[in-house]
A and B are shown apart, each in its own frame.
Chain A
């Protein structure tokens, strides 16, 4: 095994062990995280959906699960699960859109599970999960009519997007709907920062579960991320010092 693979394996194993330990500790201890405005915004918007009987739209982006961009879609699915359970009792059930076949199937399954938990008596409408387009702009063009025509009051855009996400935030703003958005692409993050006050930057995308009480493992994963980040900061600073003194 080459040295890079060994380092990668060590990072994965250590992270997994830390996550298991912190998930156990999270059952007894309450971990405090900094306030993120967008998550407060989500809680307010979701309450509004339930109160005024409007619709929640969760857009999962067009990241395929077979690519590295799948992680953003998985984070979006975890968020969808939480929000769908909360808003399934609204007069208008939540909808989820995606630009990938597998993510579409998983979003359908996630919505169905949330529906069965909250409303066993009504049949599940499988068209709540929708695939809209496979290319960046066809995806955006496919989502925009739902934002406009389906009486959506809150749009949660969490997944892998490029700059086309600007069209979705603009469409939401035109309809007066609340937007909370996050992407794993840097240009999209710049666009989101400029277009919506409810944007999540960088790894905040992956913190959505921990901030929405999705379970101990979500809390633990956020703690592990913080620890790993500090380790990386120390390694980078040590590298700089060693380089300054000519040891590297």
Chain B
């Protein structure tokens, strides 16, 4: 029975995938594609609700079993239920306040922590990997930075501060980096294409098949 169900899921996934793909190239299929995409959006909304439930149960079970760090799970649950209660009660100003006064500042502080983390990581880079690529990586970062920020010491030197560094920085960031980035993006696009094809072939079945 499970095998039949598994084959059934695969048939649905592959046929929907092929229809959506054909919708881009065969105009008569486009309306079906639009309907299927609308269904996908509705399903994504339902999945979000399920995910929120999952978030609640994971933290609830951590609090219930007094797992390590359960106090943070408790804070998460209290915050989650408070915002939910505010939303259900229709207190729009209060939910906006929770977003603007708590959520956004916390995310901004995480970004500040990240900035410090990255500086520390760049210092540690040569300890983790001592190779030519790492040295080029660091030198490039330093050159681009020194070409884009004002350095009073370098500005005093003839030619270097005001002419050479900005040009070098521009060549690195607008020629070499853009070329490299395009190469990486082409590679990622090719990878995405073959990943999609594997799903269409039914070779990858993340929807529960042995």
Contacts from A to B (Cβ < 8 Å): 1, 5, 8-9, 11-12, 15-16, 19-20, 23, 64-66, 68, 71-72, 74-75, 77-78, 81, 100-102, 104-110, 112-113, 116-117, 126-127, 129-132, 134-138, 140-142, 145, 148-149, 163-164, 166-167, 169-170, 184, 186, 189, 191, 193-197, 201-203, 205-207, 209, 215-218, 221-222, 224-225, 228-229, 232
Look across to chain B and name the residue whose beta carbon is closest to the beta carbon of A81. Answer: B206
> In the complex the two chains form, what is the Cα distance from A228 to B194 in whole Å?
10
Query: Within the complex, what minimum Cβ distance (angstroms) separates B86 from chain A?
Result: 18
> In the complex the two chains form, what is the Cα distance from A79 to B48 in whole Å?
23
> In the complex the two chains form, what is the Cα distance from A110 to B205 in whole Å?
9
| A19-B197 in contact (CB<8A) | yes
Indicate whether B122 reaches chain A with its CB closer than 8 angstroms: yes
| A224-B194 in contact (CB<8A) | yes
| A78-B44 in contact (CB<8A) | no
> In the complex the two chains form, what is the Cα distance from A51 to B51 in whole Å?
32
Query: Within the complex, what minimum Cβ distance (angstroms) separates B200 from chain A?
Result: 7
- Chosen A-B contacts, 8 in total, with CB atoms closer than 8 Å, are A19-B201, A101-B45, A101-B47, A106-B206, A107-B206, A110-B206, A137-B107, A232-B190
> In the complex the two chains form, what is the Cα distance from A1 to B137 in whole Å?
44
| B198-A221 in contact (CB<8A) | yes
Contacts A137-B110, A229-B186 given; does A206 touch B197 at CB 8 Å: no
Contacts A109-B208, A113-B209, A203-B187 given; does A166 touch B117 at CB 8 Å: yes
Task: Give the chain B neighbours of A193 by CB distance below 8 A.
Answer: 137
| A184-B194 in contact (CB<8A) | no
- Counting from the closest, the 9 A-B pairs by CB-CB distance are A206-B191, A101-B47, A203-B187, A217-B203, A71-B192, A131-B51, A221-B194, A101-B48, A101-B51
> How many residue pairs at the A-B interface have CB separations less than 8 Å?
201
| A166-B129 in contact (CB<8A) | no
> In the complex the two chains form, what is the Cα distance from A145 to B72 in whole Å?
8
Query: Within the complex, what minimum Cβ distance (angstroms) separates A198 from chain B?
Result: 10
Contact pick for A167, options B50, B58, B117, CB 8 Å: B117
| A140-B110 in contact (CB<8A) | yes
Indicate whether B49 reaches chain A with its CB closer than 8 angstroms: yes
Task: Give the chain B neighbours of A184 by CB distance below 8 A.
Answer: 188, 192
Task: Give the chain B neighbours of A205 by CB distance below 8 A.
Answer: 188, 191
Indicate whether B193 reaches chain A with its CB closer than 8 angstroms: yes
> In the complex the two chains form, what is the Cα distance from A134 to B113 in whole Å?
19
Contacts A64-B44, A117-B210 given; does A101 touch B50 at CB 8 Å: yes
> In the complex the two chains form, what is the Cα distance from A100 to B129 in whole Å?
33
Query: Within the complex, what minimum Cβ distance (angstroms) separates B194 from chain A?
Result: 4
> In the complex the two chains form, what is the Cα distance from A121 to B51 in whole Å?
27
Task: Give the chain B neighbours of A216 by CB distance below 8 A.
Answer: 203
Contacts A203-B187, A221-B198 given; does A102 touch B47 at CB 8 Å: yes
Having A206-B194, A221-B194, one finds 7 other A-B pairs with CB under 8 Å, namely A108-B54, A113-B210, A136-B107, A170-B120, A184-B188, A195-B118, A228-B193
Task: Give the chain A neighbours of B208 by CB distance below 8 A.
Answer: 109-110, 112-113
Indicate whether B204 reaches chain A with its CB closer than 8 angstroms: yes
> In the complex the two chains form, what is the Cα distance from A222 to B37 in whole Å?
29
Indicate whether B174 reaches chain A with its CB closer than 8 angstroms: no
Indicate whether B160 reaches chain A with its CB closer than 8 angstroms: no
Binds A, one of B149-157, B163-171, B177-185: B177-185
Most A Cβ at <10 Å: residue of B69, B72, B120, B188:
B188
Task: Give the chain B neighbours of A102 by CB distance below 8 A.
Answer: 43-44, 47
Indicate whether B67 reaches chain A with its CB closer than 8 angstroms: yes
> In the complex the two chains form, what is the Cα distance from A232 to B188 in whole Å?
13
> In the complex the two chains form, what is the Cα distance from A214 to B72 in whole Å?
38
Indicate whether B8 reaches chain A with its CB closer than 8 angstroms: no
Indicate whether B100 reaches chain A with its CB closer than 8 angstroms: no
| A191-B118 in contact (CB<8A) | yes
Contact pick for B68, options A149, A207, A228, CB 8 Å: A149
| B206-A104 in contact (CB<8A) | no
> Contact flags (1/0) for B107-151 with A, using CB distance below 8 Å?
100110110011011100100110000000100000000000000
Task: Give the chain B neighbours of A206 by CB distance below 8 A.
Answer: 188, 190-192, 194-195
| A74-B111 in contact (CB<8A) | no
